[in-house]
Homo-oligomer: A and B are copies of this chain.
Amino acid sequence: MHDRLNKNSMAVLKMVRASHSHPTASEVYEAVRQERPQIGLASIYRILHNLVEQNYIKELRHGDDTCRYDAHTARHDHAICTQCGALLDIPIDVALPQDLLEAAAQATGIEFSSHELRLYGRCPTCQGQAVQHKTVE
């Protein structure tokens, strides 16, 4: 399943692994360009798809229209800021009761294979800013 990676692919994988912020394709492009200035954006997309295919990384999508990549491949959950859209890792293992998951899967008829919990709320950065609707105009 895991093929050997060439230099471009290695550079992309390293960048995604080094980033702890679920980078977008164009963020990966800008970073990888530092090391491999000749690389093209089409290759970034192609390589990211290959890495997903080969289970080196995962693809994430939420509110905005760009998709993000995650080198953290173990099952884990995310928190999404309702104000700025930030996508944060939940750094602990949230052990949801297996029977609840199975009951939910059964209710839809899907062949359950994995799950993700998403929490919504204001992120720490946004909490530090003026509270919505409470500022004097």
Contacts and interface: CB of A to CB of B under 8 A. Distances in A.
Contacts of A41: none
Highest count of chain B CB atoms <10 Å: which of A63, A91, A120, A122: A120
20 contacts: A79-B104, A82-B113, A88-B108, A89-B108, A90-B108, A91-B107, A91-B108, A92-B103, A95-B100, A96-B96, A97-B97, A105-B119, A108-B123, A110-B121, A111-B121, A112-B121, A114-B121, A115-B117, A116-B117, A117-B118
Given A94-B100, A113-B122, 16 more contacts: A61-B61, A61-B62, A65-B65, A89-B108, A90-B104, A91-B107, A96-B96, A108-B123, A109-B124, A110-B119, A110-B120, A110-B122, A111-B127, A116-B118, A117-B117, A117-B118
Interface of A: 61-63, 65, 77, 79, 81-82, 88-92, 94-97, 100-101, 103-105, 107-124, 127
